[in-house]
Amino acid sequence: MVFSCTRCSRLTTFLLETKEHHPDYFCQPVPPFGDDNAQLLIVGLAPGMHGANRTGRPFTGDYAGILLYQTLHDFKFCNHSESINTKDGLLLQNVKITNAVKCLPPQNKPLPTEIKECNRYLAHEILDSHSLKVILALGKIAHDAVLTVFNEKKSVYPFKHGSVYQLKEKYTLISSYHCSRYNTQTNRLTKDMFYSIFKEINLLLDRRHEYK
């Protein structure tokens, strides 16, 4: 779906430049990873330079994925507690992971036009899924990108850690601070806070027996 996208010239150029410096890196739009029949979709920001952009799998190979995959494992959404690379045998069950922006952005900061341009892919991932019930947005950019998919006003559904909103009857949007190195190392997002989000997701998905 996204693999050959070149709509954002700044990002396309940056990927080409990055590939020159790191020929062994993936350096393409990073596709979603996980279960095609998932009830839960996790939306991050964008691939990290030496993580998803290197390995080709969201939240894989850098610090941002540590808490995420550990938590998914503890809550029985996957078979390993770490995501190392695309050949590590990691399988996700009932969850899919994607990003609001599929290409590596310079300084980790996509432009508003790039977020908007890439929203078509997130819209497909959300609206074409028959199984999807709960969307977990990691950070405000992901939260707002999900609202854009549904054409909803950001002022009506403000981002807050732990906010839960019903969207179009069928979907629940739950949001968390992003599990970035900065947020976890400064304790803006603690393990307990992140686990509370997943306990709420368990309730929303009626997974009472899947607590850690």
Q: Which parts of this chain interact with ligand URA (CB under 6 A)?
A: 44-48, 51-52, 58-59, 64, 99
Q: Which of 99, 141, 106 minimizes the C-alpha distance to 10?
A: 106
Tokens matching residue 145: 């990108």
CB of 51 to ligand URA, least distance (A): 5
Comparing CB distances to ligand URA, the nearer of 45 and 207 is 45
Taking the complex as a whole, the smallest distance from the CB of residue 141 to ligand URA amounts, in Å, to 9
Q: What's 78's DSSP letter?
A: B
Query: Which residue's C-beta sits nearest to ligand URA?
Result: 44
Using DSSP, state whether 178 is helix, strand or coil. Answer: coil
Q: Measured from the CB atom, is 39 or 48 closer to ligand URA?
A: 48
Query: Listing from the earlier edge strand, what are the strands of the sheet with 171-176?
Result: 33-34, 95-99, 40-44, 134-138, 171-176, 164-167
Q: Regarding beta strands 33-34 and 95-99, do their DSSP bridges make them parallel or antiparallel, or are they unpaired?
A: antiparallel
Shortest Cβ 180–ligand URA spacing (Å): 7
**Of residues 118 and 207, the one with the C-beta less far from ligand URA:** 118
What distances in angstroms separate CA 86 from CA 28, 57, 77, 106, one per listed residue? Answer: 14, 7, 17, 24
Q: Which is nearer to ligand URA, 67 or 207 (CB)?
A: 67
Phi, psi dihedral angles at 159 (to 5 degrees):
-70, 135
Q: How far is the CB of 65 from ligand URA (least distance, A)?
A: 7
* Nearest approach, Cβ of residue 208 and ligand URA (Å): 29
Q: Nearer Cβ to ligand URA, position 64 or 132?
A: 64
